[in-house]
Amino acid sequence: MEKNISPLQKARADYKPKLPKVLAQFGSNLKASVGGPTESVADQLQVKALFPNTYGLPVVTFDGPSADKAPSIKAGVILSGGQAPGGHNVIAGLYDGLKKMDPQNELYGFKGGPSGLTENKYVKFTDSFIDEYRNTGGFDIIGSGRTKLEKEEQFDTVIANCKALGVNAIVIIGGDDSNTNACMLAEYLLKKKAGIQVIGCPKTIDGDLKNEWIETSFGFDTATKVYSEIIGNIQRDANSAKKYWHFIKLMGRSASHIGLECALKTQPTYAIISEEVAEKKMTLRQIVTDIAKAVKTRSDAGKDFGVVLVPEGLIEFVPEVKNLIDELNDLLAANSEYFDRLSDDDKMQFVGSKISAESALAFSGMPASIKMQLLMDRDPHGNVQVSRIETERLLIDMVGDILRIWKAKGEYKGSFSCQNHFLGYEGRCAAPSNFDADYCYSLGYTASALIGAGMSGYISSVRYLTKSADKWVAGGIPLTMMMNLERRHGKDKPVIRKALVELDKKPFLTFASKRADWIIEDAFQYPGPIQYFGPSEVCDLTTVTLELEHN
């Protein structure tokens, strides 16, 4: 065991994750009932052409034991991309499933993400090794990494390394990109008749790997519960001190699922959803004016405090800012040497003279600090580092400007003191909630069953998640089924379609129907910390998003 672990970890180590009935009853050597051939969500012809061996595979579900003898399996597993609560339980479920099928089966963990597979860095898992990590947060069991596994040379190295070890199945735990690459690897291995299967598992706290077959990706439940605990505490503080506006930026660049879920859980004064901003083509000016109006409305009612939730990726969803950033990237990349020699003032002037009128307008409206950030803080390719831009401070600054003008006109009499927060690392490695502990363990266990059933190019799927775990349905979805073509760096790439917040679906509509009230009355909710041992209605609830999408 880990040396002197915390009392909660000790108590939590004994937790036995719940499994779908078929897995609990018959173990992992199961009969796969297959449906008809499938199609990709879009661009069927192109996707089919790219994936001749993995396209059109049937959806698979497990509902009974297999009559055949279990195959003998040596599997390898990797963690890919950003941390999400529950990764350790996916590996524990996979390990237990393999051992249940045949005690001789083995599981190797490739270290540091996808590069572990190409660099052949691995550990062989044992009972005591796995036991140390059951129901814990983090990816530290084997580490993670962001290396992209997409080139044929890499695939050939993978084959060589797996052959040398005798590994005949690979499980890739990752987000949409990692699972896209998992499918490319599966396709290549089938083409080469390498005799190595590939199974994916859906991970991301952002919640954007989601569709008809993947109801939610693991970690989203736990991470949003941790963020909501903190948001609730800050709201209670705002409502007690009654003197600050707290602007809280929430992790999640490509979609606002986290912000929406946290808003539904905590009922803040105000919350911004990036997808709505893009859909309505809102300008930065409109966004901050709307916030300023909310501040004024409350101030007129004697309330100079509140909480605003801001999605990390917001500014990339503001059309004018997105254009500005695209123009800056092109401009500065093309002129970097010359540009870097200029003084700050000359830089401003140079940029002002070269970008479009719309972008110039957007640029001129920004606070000096952000302007400099846009010009100075660039990555090795000369690109603006969007993730470094402190959107929450940008909003505070611009809202403040508007309120000062209104105050000068006598239209606003309040005070606008702000605190800003960014919630990201606080939740990515939290110990999984009961839901994520069960879901992740089931995903890993199901992956072992998919391997046992000889599948490749599938993502482990556990569905009907709003029901109790015993009623969950375990199976596999062909990765090609979730794909479409998207433009990346100037060429069409097959990718798993990202799930954005849909403005015509229940989660957003529910939020939209309540938010006007939240500005006026204090409807703050205080979810409190994740509980593991209490009454089921406290400990086993999953996300509001999932409830609204499926009940």
Tell whether the torsion through CA atoms of 240, 241, 243 and 244 is positive or negative.
negative
Contact between 551 and a second copy per CB under 8 A? no
Q: Which range touches a second copy (CB under 8 A), out of 114-122, 198-206, 232-240, 387-395?
A: 232-240
Binding pattern to a second copy, positions 107-126, x when CB under 8 A?
--------------------
Contact between 38 and a second copy per CB under 8 A? no
Q: Which of 128, 240, 343, 353 binds a second copy (CB under 8 A)?
A: 240
Q: For residues 125 and 432, what is the distance between their CA atoms, to the nearest angstrom? A: 21
Burial of 45 (0-12, 13-18, 19+ CB in 10 A): exposed
Contact between 335 and a second copy per CB under 8 A? no
CA distance to 111, 459, 527, per residue, from 539 (Å)? 33, 28, 11
Contact between 236 and a second copy per CB under 8 A? yes
Contact between 466 and a second copy per CB under 8 A? no
Contact between 129 and a second copy per CB under 8 A? no
Catalytic one among 176, 206, 221, 522? 206
Q: Which range touches a second copy (CB under 8 A), out of 1-9, 54-62, 69-77, 485-493?
A: 1-9
Smallest gap from Cβ 256 to a second copy, in A, equals 22
Contact between 370 and a second copy per CB under 8 A? no
Smallest gap from Cβ 140 to a second copy, in A, equals 5
Which residues face 347 on adjacent strands?
none
Contact between 130 and a second copy per CB under 8 A? no
Q: For residues 13 and 258, what is the distance between their CA atoms, to the nearest angstrom? A: 28
Binding pattern to a second copy, positions 254-273, x when CB under 8 A?
-----------x--------
CA distance to 145, 240, 395, 414, 519, per residue, from 411 (Å)? 53, 27, 20, 10, 19
Binding pattern to a second copy, positions 141-160, x when CB under 8 A?
--xx----------------
Write down how long the chain is.
551
Q: For residues 432 and 542, what is the distance between their CA atoms, to the nearest angstrom? A: 12
Q: Which of 107, 226, 262, 418 binds a second copy (CB under 8 A)?
A: 226
Q: Which of 97, 137, 207, 400 binds a second copy (CB under 8 A)?
A: 137
For a second copy (CB under 8 A), the number of binding residues is 57
The smaller minimum CB distance to a second copy, of residues 138 and 200, is found at: 138
Phi-psi region of 534 (alpha: psi -120 to 50; beta: other; left: phi over 0): beta
Q: For residues 329 and 524, what is the distance between their CA atoms, to the nearest angstrom? A: 41
Q: Which range touches a second copy (CB under 8 A), out of 63-71, 95-103, 139-147, 286-294?
A: 139-147
Smallest gap from Cβ 122 to a second copy, in A, equals 17
Contact between 9 and a second copy per CB under 8 A? yes
Contact between 529 and a second copy per CB under 8 A? yes
Q: Determine whether 290 is an active site residue.
A: no
Smallest gap from Cβ 251 to a second copy, in A, equals 11
Residue 338: count other Cβ atoms within 10 Å of its Cβ.
10
Burial of 361 (0-12, 13-18, 19+ CB in 10 A): middle
Q: For residues 258 and 227, what is the distance between their CA atoms, to the nearest angstrom? A: 9
Contact between 220 and a second copy per CB under 8 A? no
Alpha helices in 61-194 (DSSP H): 87-101, 115-118, 127-131, 152-165, 176-191
Contact predicate 170/76, CB 8 Å: yes
Contact between 234 and a second copy per CB under 8 A? yes
Q: Which range touches a second copy (CB under 8 A), out of 190-198, 199-207, 344-352, 535-543?
A: 535-543
Site residues for a second copy, 391-420, by CB under 8 A, read 419
DSSP sequence for 256-292:
-HHHHHHHHHH--SEE--HHHHHHTT--HHHHHHHHH
DSSP sequence for 233-265:
HHHHHHHHH---EEEEEES-SS--HHHHHHHHH
* Backbone dihedral angles phi then psi of residue 253, each to the nearest 5 degrees: -80, -40
Q: For residues 319 and 359, what is the distance between their CA atoms, to the nearest angstrom? A: 10
Smallest gap from Cβ 65 to a second copy, in A, equals 36
Q: Which of 31, 121, 253, 421 binds a second copy (CB under 8 A)?
A: 421
Site residues for a second copy, 487-526, by CB under 8 A, read 523, 525-526
Q: Which residues contribute to the site for a second copy (CB under 8 A)? A: 3-12, 82-83, 136-140, 143-144, 226, 229-230, 232-234, 236-237, 239-242, 246, 265, 419, 421, 425-431, 523, 525-535, 537-538, 541
User: Catalytic site residues?
Assistant: 206
